[in-house]
Amino acid sequence: MVFESHKICITGKTRLLPIIGHPVSGVFSPPDFNLAFQERRLDFTMVPIDVPTESLKAFWDLLRNSANMIGCSVTYPHKQAAFDAMETARHAPLG
């Protein structure tokens, strides 16, 4: 499949929005998101990241501790694990 090309300039100020799954070869939403970000003049970029199940905890830690990741979109097979991680975080004590 061929996507229409749009110039994206990534800098140290760019906010990243990963879309994670395993595999991510079938992910089609990044071009649509990136076009919408560009049209709204937002310095955001969506990137697909292939995260095997055994690496999810490391990815959550990276996401939580990254200054330029604004969240993430989740696809198969990680949706339930993402929900469980959010529930755990929601019930964790603050501070």
**Beta sheet of 73-74, edge-to-edge order:** 44-50, 15-21, 73-74
How many folded domains does the chain comprise? Answer: 1
Residue 90 lies in a domain: no
Residue 16 near residue 67 (C-beta atoms within 8 A): no
Name the DSSP class of 68: S
pTM, two decimal places: 0.78
Residue 38 lies in a domain: yes
State yes or no: is 57 an active-site residue.
no
Q: What CATH number did the domain enclosing 33 receive?
A: 3.40.50.10860
Residue 2 lies in a domain: no
The CA-atom distances, in angstroms, between 67 and each of 70, 84, 85 are 8, 23, 19
- DSSP 3-state percent helix, strand, coil across the chain (nearest 5): 35, 20, 45
Q: What does the pLDDT profile of the chain (95 residues) look like in tens digits?
A: 445 556 778 899 999 999 999 999 999 999 999 999 999 999 999 999 999 999 998 998 999 899 999 999 998 887 888 777 766 655 555 45
**Residue 36 is encoded by which pair of tokens?**
């919408």
What type of residue is 54? E
Residue 95 lies in a domain: no
